[in-house]
Amino acid sequence: MASFFVLPSQHEELARDEIISISKSYDTKTRVQSSPRLVFVESKVSWKKIASRSTFSRYSGEIVNTFEDVSHIDLPIPRPASFVCRTINLSSKKIGTSLERQIGGMLKRKWGSQVSLSNPHLTVYVIVTDDKKYLGITDCIVNPVHPVKAVKHPHELDMKLGRCVVNLSQLNEKKTLCDPFCGTGTILLEAESMGINAIGIDYDKIMCKITSKNLSANGFCSKVINSEYNKMLEFKEEIDGIVTDLPYGISSRSSVSPQRLVKDFLSIVPKRKKLVMVYKKGLEVEEMNKAKKYEIYRHKSLTRIIGVSS
Ligand SMILES: C[S@@+](CC[C@H](N)C(=O)[O-])C[C@H]1O[C@@H](n2cnc3c(N)ncnc32)[C@H](O)[C@@H]1O
């Protein structure tokens, strides 16, 4: 059975690629089918695993069937003790609640199950697109659980974006990630919360202390090293990918411009390591020309670029 994931309209491409990356981190033969605001995944990994990691997916579950006419609906699954029917309208037309009421009524007659709006054993999703109508099911709602941040900082990544960039790296539980500009540790926290080993580096002692506090607030044990980013070369055999968020401006400790820093950093990134790099729009360097890029507007003086190179 294929899994489905409904995507938000904002950051749709990023959300789609995040889902695909998570699935590929467990199963490189993942098959994907896309339609606007919807992605179907056929993979060895369960949809619940993908949903528990994904940042942006709104609704998820398994696709059971498609239908054209309500009278021809076939939902070949065991009778649930209780259920609810919900419509997800991804089409360009307005649809009211009559479709879900009609299908809900039909399933109630067929199954004789109770309808439970608040705590159903099964949710039946009627997903309507401009091309097709799908029937999806889920027996639970799965949402990611973010780690806590004991100490915050104005320049930190938000946890959602932190999780998303870790997922774009296509690393899973058996792998190790390095963030050589770890700041308050957002990327390390999200990585370790998903079972990925992480090593953080920051040349600012205070940032390293903040990261350590944030890690211990979650009972995490990722390594934190107070050093220049090039320290990562000492671990290059250990690490499978680099996921990082570069400085956006000139820091008080460094006279190197952010543009220079991006270039210098990229010149030492070990070849054949997956790289996911967040940087300020405007700092583009030609080394990232071939990378897949996503723009995230934060405020009028900060638009972030997420660059993913393989
Ligand atoms: C944009 S911040 C990272 C924020 C982090 N993602 C978070 O969520 O807190 C960039 C970090 O790079 C560190 N940094 C700047 N230059 C560095 C260098 N040459 N080597 C290592 N770290 C450096 C800064 O101290 C800062 O904490």
Residue nearest to atom 19 of ligand 1 (CA): 228
* pTM for the model: 0.95
Residue 170: pLDDT band (50, 70, 90) is very high
Domain chopping of the chain, boundaries: 3-138, 159-309
The per-residue pLDDT for range 114-124, each reduced to its tens digit, is 999 999 999 99
The per-residue pLDDT for range 76-116, each reduced to its tens digit, is 999 999 999 999 999 999 988 899 999 999 999 999 999 99
d(CA 109, CA 116): 15
Distances 241 to 167, 232, 237 between C-alpha atoms, Å: 11, 11, 10
CA of 160 from ligand 1 middle (Å) equals 18
CA of 183 from ligand 1 middle (Å) equals 5
DSSP string, 7-58: PPSTTHHHHHHHHHHHHHHH-TT-EEEEETTEEEEE-SS-HHHHHHH-SS--
Residue nearest to atom 27 of ligand 1 (CA): 183
CA of 242 from ligand 1 middle (Å) equals 14
Instruction: Please state the φ and ψ torsions of residue 72, each to the nearest 5 degrees.
Output: -105, 20
User: In degrees to the nearest 10, what's the CA dihedral of 270, 276, 279, 285?
Assistant: 50
The answer on pLDDT for 256 being more than 90 is: no
β-bridge pairing 241-245 and 176-179: parallel
Q: Give the binding-site residues of ligand 1, using a 6 Å CB cut-off.
A: 153, 155-157, 180-181, 183-184, 186-187, 201-204, 207, 228-229, 245, 247-248, 251, 254
Is 187 strand, coil or helix? helix
Residue 72: pLDDT band (50, 70, 90) is confident
CATH of span 3-138: 3.30.2130.30
d(CA 12, CA 19): 11
Q: How much is the average pLDDT of 261-281? A: 94
Q: How much is the average pLDDT of 258-282? A: 93
CA of 167 from ligand 1 middle (Å) equals 20
Residue 198: pLDDT band (50, 70, 90) is very high
**pLDDT value at position 252?**
55
Residue whose token pair is 């029937």: 135
Residue nearest to atom 22 of ligand 1 (CA): 202
d(CA 46, CA 55): 16
CA of 175 from ligand 1 middle (Å) equals 23
The answer on pLDDT for 241 being more than 70 is: yes
Instruction: Please state the φ and ψ torsions of residue 92, each to the nearest 5 degrees.
Output: -85, -5
Residue nearest to atom 14 of ligand 1 (CA): 181
CA of 272 from ligand 1 middle (Å) equals 23
Contacts of 232 (CB under 8 A, 6+ apart): 178, 180, 199, 201, 239, 242
Q: Which two tokens stand for residue 137?
A: 């099911």
Residue type, position 293, single letter: K
The highest-level CATH class for domain 159-309 is alpha beta
Q: Output the average pLDDT for the chain.
A: 94
**pLDDT value at position 253?**
63
**pLDDT value at position 1?**
79
CA of 248 from ligand 1 middle (Å) equals 9
**pLDDT value at position 310?**
72
**pLDDT value at position 158?**
94
d(CA 155, CA 184): 9
Q: How much is the average pLDDT of 176-193? A: 98
| Residue 179 Cα: closest atom of ligand 1 | 6
Q: How much is the average pLDDT of 40-45? A: 98
| Residue 186 Cα: closest atom of ligand 1 | 8
Residue nearest to atom 25 of ligand 1 (CA): 204
Partnered with residue 303 across adjacent β-strands are 297
Q: How much is the average pLDDT of 268-285? A: 91
The per-residue pLDDT for range 20-34, each reduced to its tens digit, is 999 999 999 999 999
Task: Return the best residue to mutate from 189, 202, 233 for the ligand 1 pocket (most ligand atoms within 8 A of CB).
Answer: 202
Residue type, position 30, single letter: T
